[in-house]
A and B are shown apart, each in its own frame.
Chain A
Amino acid sequence: MKIVIVGDGKVGNALARQLSSENHDITMIDKNAARLNDSVDRLDIMGVVGNGASIPVLQEADTGHCDVLIAAASLDEANLLSCVCGRHLGVPRTIARVRNPEYNDQLYEMRETMGLSMMINPERATAQEIIRVIAFPAAVHIDTFAMGRVELVEYGIDSDSPLVGVSLLNLPHLFKNKVLICAVERSGEVTIPKGDFTLLAGDRIHITGTPKEISGFLDHLEGEKQHIRSIMILGGGRIAFYLCQMLGTKYQIKIIEKDYDRCEEICDRFPHVVVIHANGSDINLLESEGLLEIDAFIALSGMDEENLVTAMVANQRDVPKVITKITRNDYQSILENIHDITVVNPKMSAVNHIVSYVRSLQNSHGLDHVITIYKLVNGKAEADEFLAGAKTHFLGRPFSTLSLKPNMLVGAIIREDKVIIPTGNDCILEGDHVVVVSGSRSLHSLNDIFGELPS
């Protein structure tokens, strides 16, 4: 597909890199010639210097003939204008990054009047991601498929958990929730479990299911003991703002922010939130503000280093749930081995959202194609969401009549609005979104997972 990206920032650049490696034709527009030249040198893309909200510049990038226009420049208004101009030139699909919370209540109206296909707000998406983690504090990491209809949750089994010693065959008898354990990590090794697999203390399991079923399942396991009530947030930026808005008054929230004006703004908007005007990198201050008593600590300051250090301190002081924002990809590897800290990355969330959207547009001539890819357990396993096409093999054949290749598992099938946690009687139909968990290699197609039963 031909894709025009306006704005060569972190998001624009990451998008160009990913989409161009997936063989799309990318043209990038940016005002900064030096930065753009650098990108053109590094990536196999074309660059146009200029204002991406002006029609002549868009025409120079041949926007009229492109399939998708993605506006990811720093200014919301400029992004919206780019998309409107793109629509005028005849672009079928436009995506705008809009992140100002003040526009939050008019998203629907803007989408309708401006004919946008998608609006992406990295900070809001991140806030939603954090909310999901807060809702299941026992889960370390949550990935979503099919616009959040199916979740994949990572959960560690303690020695006093009711799951210890349970064989997977017995699981449906013990718990009424429809969830599927699709990968187990035990002493560094990953297994895609079969029915005779028995869970042990110390295992980290990956579960798929609808958000409701999973939350029921986890509630059942954890009882009420782990519900989060009090939250400390470091940094009162946009994500914190959305969090306050979404969490409402059910939670006790304390925000630590260095900028006084910003403190007043938050006080004004959210009277129930306690706002501390202080430098959050001061550990003593965090402790005196109750770091040892709170249920969750969320580091959302503008500096990765500060977030990283405070999150590690909070984890060390046994705060039950620690979440930190890290923007630079190279810092994430530091936290790889500390399982209990949840990392969020607004820029990459936005990129992944957009890439999934673009993949779902692809016309692959009846073949299936991948929509989302998540790496699990440091890349030792992978969860992929495929869109089944007309030429996918074994359409309509119940799974019990097929043989599944080893180390592989169908985690969920999403048919229109329905989510199916598959059993032997289910099958794949054209247009289904299929979540596949694979323990060994990368999958390229749904046809790689099944074979005929040996007769």
Chain B
Amino acid sequence: MSLKVLSGYLSTILKMNVAFLIIPLIYALIASEYASFKGFAVTAVISLVLGLLCGLPKQGLQKPVYIKDGFIVVAASWLLLSLMGALPFYISGQIPSFVDALFESTSGFSTTGATLLPNVESLQNSMLLWRSLTHWIGGLGVLVLLIAMVPSIGGNNSNSSGYNLYRADFSGPTPVKLVPKLRQNAKILVGIYLFLTLLETILLLLGGMPLLDSLTTAFSTAATGGFSVKDISIAAYHSSYLIIVIGIFMMLFGVSFNIYFFLMIRNIKGVAKNEELRVYLIIIAVSTALISFNIANQFEHYSTALMHSFFQVSSIITSTGFASVNYDLWPTFSKSILFLLMFIGACSGSTSNGIKVSRIIILFKDMRRRLFKIGHPRSVEVVKFNGKVMDQKVVGTVSGFFATYMVIIALSFVVVAANGFDFETSLSAVVSCFAGTGPGFGGVGPMENYSKFSAISKLILSFDMILGRVEIYPILLFFSPRTWRKV
């Protein structure tokens, strides 16, 4: 791909970053948090200068973006944003080690929510706002935001540039268009995202949460991120109302945004026949029930057990990572269910990470078909999803994705295990970061943090977070030498 095209897009990304930096910058100014202000201001200037430099080659955005280029632009955008996002933490001196700052920023943009701050509350408020804002920017996908906001990218060009970017940044097996025009599509998604975020903020305010906390918690929930402004996460508020509101909103953000569009245009049939939504809700219901029975004896009332088990299921399956209690103290049965939910993830086309329910459904159906085929080699059976026959190629892609997913977990696990922590800590750290959840079990449980790992492990985990967020392939393509060969 031409470097001109890439730098054209990176220039736009950097300028967008500046626009977002202004928000905490103003907050820092008003709240007289000068260390943070310095961090934001210096980062904004660096971002702007780099953005203008990258924008120097003309016509970068007019050239067509082919399929491969789309993946490269997406990978480069996420890597660059994570790098830029680390600067305010580092420059303001609130996270003195650059690797640590990078980990925190990557965790933010990739909507993982894993933190290595032993004492979150010691950060200045504007920095806390920035931390949650990175979630919100990363939640829907940077490119979707760009397509919606910058006319020249998603604009009225009859070529496929916008679509190739959109496809590369889409989470799930196959991208879905709701309306013919791509830009309109992106605007609908951003609109739904904004509306739900705002709705949650208001509901949280009504529950007596302070404004900054409401806003940051809503950002974290919307992006299914998981950064909280409290050391012990949502448990700090001691409010059943807040736990239930956040629990429900996490679940809502794990639903494909297409469903909300269908509701908007009153296409109830489209909602009713959506197989992924059905399975997603069933998984939540069954897991909640199983865990609530398992932990019932830890609480006075069964209803409290039910509430906490629902909150935790909703938090883990959507890869958010909030905690209403220290679930690391729960019995192994409950913890193992939560561990499985980490892998599954929520619906494709939502803000959540993980493998996605649709892929799991297709994998199981394909497995059943293959089993039958062993006994009846000449049998013909198709894999149906949402009542439609899936193309064999797509089914194959899903199996391939699953295999790659497992290989990356295995390799990262070996590296992280070199830190010498127990099995539970090392494995759950890798899976949790890769699946975008944030906290894991044991040494990285909900009341713990990631500061105990070595620098190399932190870098590996950061890398896993981005891999998980972009669904592996863009990053792998970006670092594959074959991608950059001319022929």
**Chain A interface (Cβ within 8 Å of chain B)?**
2, 17, 20-21, 23, 25-27, 33, 40-47
Contact = CB atoms under 8 A, between A and B. Distances in A.
B179 interface: yes
A46 B177 contact: yes
A21 B160 contact: no
A435 B162 CA distance: 36
B454 interface: no
B156 A23 contact: yes
B157 interface: yes
Question: Top 3 A-B pairs ranked by shortest CB distance?
Answer: A25-B180, A21-B158, A46-B180
Interface in B159-178: 159-160, 162-164, 177-178
Nearest to A24: B180
Nearest to A38: B160
Given A44-B163, A44-B180, 16 more contacts: A17-B158, A20-B180, A25-B181, A26-B180, A33-B391, A40-B177, A41-B67, A41-B160, A41-B163, A41-B164, A42-B159, A43-B159, A44-B156, A44-B157, A44-B158, A46-B178
A453 B391 CA distance: 66
Contacts of A26: 180
B182 interface: yes
A44 B182 contact: yes
Contacts of A33: 391
5 contacts: A25-B184, A26-B180, A42-B159, A44-B158, A46-B179
Contacts of B391: 33
A271 to B, nearest CB: 50
Contacts of B156: 21, 23, 44
A25 B179 contact: yes
Interface residues of B, number: 17
Interface string B140-164: 0000000000000000111110111
Contacts of B178: 46
A43 B177 contact: no
A35 to B, nearest CB: 13
B163 A40 contact: yes
A190 B159 CA distance: 32
Contacts of A21: 156, 158
Contacts of A23: 156
B355 to A, nearest CB: 24
A20 B158 contact: yes
A23 B159 CA distance: 13
A452 B156 CA distance: 34
A418 to B, nearest CB: 37
A184 B236 CA distance: 83
Contacts of B164: 41
B179 A43 contact: no
A76 to B, nearest CB: 27
A21 B156 CA distance: 7
A2 to B, nearest CB: 8
Among B156, B157, B179, B181, the most chain A Cβ lie within 10 Å of the Cβ of B181
A43 B158 contact: yes
Nearest to B270: A60
Contacts of A47: 177
B397 to A, nearest CB: 14
A272 B180 CA distance: 52
Contacts of A25: 179-181, 184
A41 B182 CA distance: 11
A378 to B, nearest CB: 23
Given A23-B156, A33-B391, A44 B162 contact: yes
Contacts of B177: 40, 46-47
A185 B477 CA distance: 54
A41 B67 CA distance: 9
A390 to B, nearest CB: 26
A21 B155 CA distance: 10
A408 to B, nearest CB: 27
A40 B159 CA distance: 10
B179 to A, nearest CB: 7
Nearest to A41: B160
A118 B271 CA distance: 36
A26 B163 CA distance: 15
Contacts of A44: 156-158, 160, 162-163, 180-182
A41 B165 CA distance: 11
Contacts of A40: 163, 177
Contacts of B184: 25
A349 B13 CA distance: 44
A43 B160 contact: yes
A2 B184 CA distance: 13
Among B158, B160, B182, the most chain A Cβ lie within 10 Å of the Cβ of B158
A40 B185 CA distance: 14
A304 B181 CA distance: 35
Interface string B54-87: 0000000000000100000000000000000000
Contacts of A42: 159-160
A20 B181 CA distance: 9
A39 B177 CA distance: 13
Contacts of A17: 158
A2 B158 CA distance: 16
A212 to B, nearest CB: 40
A98 B180 CA distance: 27
B159 to A, nearest CB: 7
B212 to A, nearest CB: 41
A219 to B, nearest CB: 44
A26 to B, nearest CB: 5
Contacts of B181: 25, 44
A120 to B, nearest CB: 22
A47 B164 CA distance: 15
B160 to A, nearest CB: 5
Nearest to B174: A37
Contacts of A45: 180
Among A20, A40, A44, A46, the most chain B Cβ lie within 10 Å of the Cβ of A44
A43 B163 CA distance: 9
A27 B158 contact: no
B160 A27 contact: no
A26 B156 CA distance: 13
A46 B179 CA distance: 7
B143 to A, nearest CB: 15
A110 to B, nearest CB: 29
A47 B184 CA distance: 16
A46 B156 CA distance: 14
Interface string B462-481: 00000000000000000000
A25 B156 CA distance: 11
A46 B188 CA distance: 15
A46 B67 CA distance: 18
A330 B134 CA distance: 49
Nearest to A4: B180
Nearest to B154: A44
Contacts of B179: 25, 46
A17 B159 CA distance: 9
Contacts of B159: 42-43
Nearest to B66: A41
A41 B70 CA distance: 12
A279 to B, nearest CB: 41
